[in-house]
Amino acid sequence: MKIILMIFAFSIKTNIYSQVQFNTHLIFTGSGGGETQSVCAADFDGDGDIDVLSGGISGIYLYENDGNQNFNHINIGAGTDISKVFSIDIDSDDDIDVVFADFGRDLIALLKNDGDSNFTVDTIYVILNDALWADVYAIDFDTDGDIDVISTYSGGTGAGHIVWHENDGNESFTHHTVFSLSARSIYPVDLDGDDDMDVIAAHWQTNNTISWYENDGNENFTWHIIDGGYNLGNSIHAADVDDDGDIDVISGEWQTLPGTFWYENNGAESFTKHSISLTGTSSVYPIDIEGDGDLDVISADFGNKVTIYENDGNQIFTENIIGGGPASQSVYPIDVDGDGDIDVVSAFSNGTQSAIFWHENQTIVGINDSKIQTPTLISLDQNYPNPFNPNTTISYSIPKRTNTKIIILDVLGREITTLVNEDKSPGSYEIRFNASNLSSGIYFYQLKAEQHIISKKMILLR
């Protein structure tokens, strides 16, 4: 596992304020609209820089970062009509692979990375119906230590399925039907807090609902409707929007009743619908872009723009347009330039023109009321940002010299990696954790110093 650590020691009390502004950089533009139905980003070539990958009508393309945010355009090929690309180290070899949905060839497939950005294609699943669209996600769904794949497809006659592809540990997959309904978008998440993975879905064609499929712990699923009045949902995600300890649902719709919405989880399988915007949406992503502790929502809007809906802490959202293009298709938040704040990568396509942009976060951080002081207590702060993708910063304080250990744990309490294990002088410290090789989900970080053990939860969202 590759872990990137940046450690800073300081003893300054700070009050931090921020202003969010973005500078847009063009990564690629071309005619034909063939590259940009989906976009993701990761360090695919293992050189420490974030690269960008896109999928579209003409296949899959890699934009390799030279370290100065200049991007080399590489045609990987690998398919036709790629509706979704998803980056993850599926074979645990420390190289970032790609799971993708190819509705042109009716496949769910895997691009295995050899470490030098050379990819080979393995088929995971052959879609039996003629697919009009497909979506895919990868996560350790059954918590057995290897990465599984969740997919959905919509057939030409309205037929479709949501399928869990169980990884046996050697990238050989057993296929389980979660539910026999066509869906446009899916997201695996523990929605009811019972420590097993459920699936949420935006359905279209024959069943226009926002739904969730409750896992009983033995991978048997019960269908629940969150919103029965939905039409052509394009994107779905989940996070604790209102910071009340349970997982809410975020969705984007593009036709009939367009907009971006969040569904407040009231517990007991009850949800309240709230509107964020009334603009048709193709892609949504919740993340704290401002660093103020509140979850914002990034959206690729069909009104030819990329928008951040900034949360004021009371779930009142203010529109902040950060870019535009021929027709917004996909957004992906990640720290492209490694400066510690969340940037946005976006993809645009309208059939005749396509483009990939990097929206650089220009957050200005000011420091007031500086005062030298030595900590009086052992403390561990909440990581920032949280949720995060893939970098986050953990801050902690030590009042006297002592052996200090910080570890990362998965949701089952298994140790993933050690970030710190050494004697530390009195002071306050920051350490940066890179989770590029981990799947989405809940993790814990734990501080051990003297006789104290402090643990906190963090959420990795991809």
Report how far Cα 111 is from the mean position of its chain's Cα atoms.
19
* Rounded Cα distance, 359 and 364, in Å: 15
For 213, how many CA atoms within 13 A lie in the half-sphere containing its CB?
Answer: 24
Strand 82-88 and strand 71-77: pairing? unpaired
State the pLDDT at residue 7: 35
* Rounded Cα distance, 358 and 352, in Å: 21
Cis amide prior to 390 (ω within 30 degrees): yes
- Of 143-147, 196-200, 368-372, the range with the lowest mean pLDDT is 368-372
159-192 pLDDT tens trace: 678 999 999 988 899 999 998 887 889 999 999 9
343-358 pLDDT tens trace: 999 988 876 778 899 9
State the pLDDT at residue 267: 80
pLDDT of 5 strictly over 60: no
For 460, how many CA atoms within 13 A lie in the half-sphere containing its CB?
Answer: 25
Short-list 41, 33, 4, CA closest to 358: 41
Rg of the chain over CA atoms, in angstroms? Answer: 21
CB 317 within 8 A of CB 311: yes
State the pLDDT at residue 157: 54
DSSP letter (8 states) at residue 372: B
383-439 pLDDT tens trace: 888 888 888 889 999 988 889 999 999 888 889 999 999 988 888 898 989 888 788
pLDDT of 16 strictly over 70: no
Short-list 348, 383, 441, 404, CA closest to 28: 348
CB 137 within 8 A of CB 115: no
CB 461 within 8 A of CB 239: yes
State the pLDDT at residue 15: 34
Strand 427-434 and strand 7-10: pairing? antiparallel
* Rounded Cα distance, 278 and 223, in Å: 28
pLDDT tier at 293 (50, 70, 90 boundaries)? confident
Fill in the amino acid letter for 193: G
Within 155-244, where are the H helices? none
* Rounded Cα distance, 410 and 167, in Å: 19
pLDDT tier at 12 (50, 70, 90 boundaries)? very low
Helix H or strand E segment including 161 = strand 160-167
State the pLDDT at residue 2: 42
pLDDT tier at 131 (50, 70, 90 boundaries)? low
pLDDT of 31 strictly over 90: no
Q: What is the mean pLDDT of residues 319-332?
A: 82
Collapsed DSSP state (helix, strand, coil) of residue 197: coil
> CA angle, corner 408, sides to 402 and 409, nearest 5?
125
For residue 462, what are the contacts with CB-CB under 8 A and spacing of at least 6? Answer: 86, 87, 88, 389, 390, 439, 440
Most confident stretch, 9-13, 78-82, 213-217, 425-429: 213-217
CA trace torsion 420, 422, 426, 427 (10° rounding): -20
* Rounded Cα distance, 417 and 259, in Å: 41
CB 383 within 8 A of CB 394: yes
pLDDT tier at 8 (50, 70, 90 boundaries)? very low
State the pLDDT at residue 52: 95
* Rounded Cα distance, 243 and 386, in Å: 11
State the pLDDT at residue 106: 85
